[in-house]
Structure 1
Amino acid sequence: MVANIVFDLGKVVVRWDPESLLAQCGIAPEQQTPLAQKLFSHSAWLEVDRGTLATSQAAVLSSGELKLDLHQVKQIYQAVAPSLEPFPEMLSLIERLKKAGYSLYVLSNMGLDSISHLRNQSNFLSQFDGILFSAECGHIKPEEAIYQLLLREFSLEPQTCLFIDDSKPNIEAAERLGIHGIHHLDYRTTHQQLQEQLPHPF
């Protein structure tokens, strides 16, 4: 029986829209999608998520390898943390789940700058019983180690956990360990799946 609900943050609880972020930094519309893919799938950015590189170091590495303007890449990377605004409907859902008696957790790939911003600027993290950020543990999804650490750190049994993430590979990695999963597409479909899968109403 599901008693624990684990949330990813980006694109699930908080806004994560790289194309809009690049637009705010003055990048032309036709360049936004390809540039976002290059910058945020680059190995340097993944190391930011892992906690082994600072954002400024990642900007130097990625701009050099991709032949991009360093100042522009720094501007884009520095704009990430302030862009992570919570979705009001998801905050309401989290509050209702908490009141219904479910234990709530965070499992998120996120760099130290973004973590610091959320902790300083948002109070919704206080709703969670446990939080595991990639940059604070040295592992990133979908690596098995981060899911194992979540279960061990908070003494959770996989069959009692339901994990919500916008990435299908991240969900599949969790399911291989016996954790239930919901592939988040939007609030409406996730809310419907929660109603179908949870044992108690909320």
Structure 2
Amino acid sequence: MIQTIIFDLGGVLIDWNPEYLYRKLFTDETEMRHFLENVCTPDWNEEQDGGRTIREATDYLLAKHPEHAENIRAFYNRWPEMLGGAIAGTVAIFKELKETGKYQFYALTNWSAETFPVALEQFDFLGWFDGIVVSGTEKDRKPFASFYQTLLNRYQVHPEEAIFIDDNLRNIRAAEALGIASIPFTTPEALRADLQARGIL
């Protein structure tokens, strides 16, 4: 029986996308995509999720791509502009589940420890969780099994009694390898249908 629901945050409950910022900085879509695919890349960002400091990350790219200095600095100087807001449909599902009083709720998120306080200030629903495990704080991240294990151990969660919701299939597979039933997130509507099919909602 499911007793614990574990949410990813970015892409599931919170709309975060660097393009929201960089569309303001680039007039050419192709140039913007080239920058995000070759300079401020997802792999580079994941290192901050794993505990690298913003200063170290910025200095690294400035040394490697000095011609992009202004746009590199903008990544964290204007980071809040990458937040598109809450994903309302998922927040509504979270609220319904919370109101049943049946489950414990945790967040397992790949997020820089230095930017996560911005999210805490902006999104009230983060206060609904019984616990939040932030990769940048732990200096560990999805999809590494040790990061999932941190949550399981800290909150005495049994894998067979939990379900995990994430928009990244790599992270879903890692959870399933630990015996945690998982739902790949695509849309709030699909999530609702899946939870209803499982008798959770």
> TM-score w.r.t. structure 1 length?
0.90
**Residue 11, structure 1, aligned to residue 3, structure 2:** no
- Per the TM alignment, residue 37 of structure 1 is displaced from its structure 2 partner at its CA by 2.7
Question: Does the CA contact (< 8 Å) of 2:21 and 2:81 recur in 1?
Answer: no
- Per the TM alignment, residue 30 of structure 1 is displaced from its structure 2 partner at its CA by 1.1
Counterpart for residue 118 of structure 2 = 117
**What do you get for the CA RMSD once the two structures are aligned?**
1.8
- Runs (4+) of structure 1 exceeding 4 A deviation are none
Question: Does the CA contact (< 8 Å) of 2:164 and 2:181 recur in 1?
Answer: yes
Stretches of structure 1 lacking an aligned partner (at least 5 in a row): none
- Per the TM alignment, residue 98 of structure 1 is displaced from its structure 2 partner at its CA by 0.5
Tell me: CA distance 1:192–1:33, structure 2 relative to 1, closer, same or farther (3 Å).
farther
How far does the alpha carbon of each residue in 1:30-68 deviate from its partner, in whole angstroms, 9 at most, with x for none? 12233223313244x222111232x23312212432454
How far does the alpha carbon of each residue in 1:100-145 deviate from its partner, in whole angstroms, 9 at most, with x for none? 1221110000012321101222211111011000011110100110
Question: Does the CA contact (< 8 Å) of 2:20 and 2:81 recur in 1?
Answer: no
Question: Does the CA contact (< 8 Å) of 1:9 and 1:107 recur in 2?
Answer: yes
Stretches of structure 2 lacking an aligned partner (at least 5 in a row): none
In the alignment, the residues of structure 1 paired with residue 138 and residue 126 of structure 2 have an alpha-carbon distance, to the nearest angstrom, of: 18
Structure 2 counterpart of 1:151, one-letter code: L
- Count the aligned residue pairs: 198
Question: Does the CA contact (< 8 Å) of 1:12 and 1:165 recur in 2?
Answer: yes
Alignment of 1:100-179 (within 5 A): 100=100, 101-179=102-180
In the alignment, the residues of structure 1 paired with residue 9 and residue 67 of structure 2 have an alpha-carbon distance, to the nearest angstrom, of: 29
In the alignment, the residues of structure 2 paired with residue 30 and residue 149 of structure 1 have an alpha-carbon distance, to the nearest angstrom, of: 40
Question: Does the CA contact (< 8 Å) of 2:52 and 2:136 recur in 1?
Answer: yes
Question: Does the CA contact (< 8 Å) of 1:8 and 1:107 recur in 2?
Answer: yes
Amino-acid identity (%): 27
> TM-score w.r.t. structure 2 length?
0.90
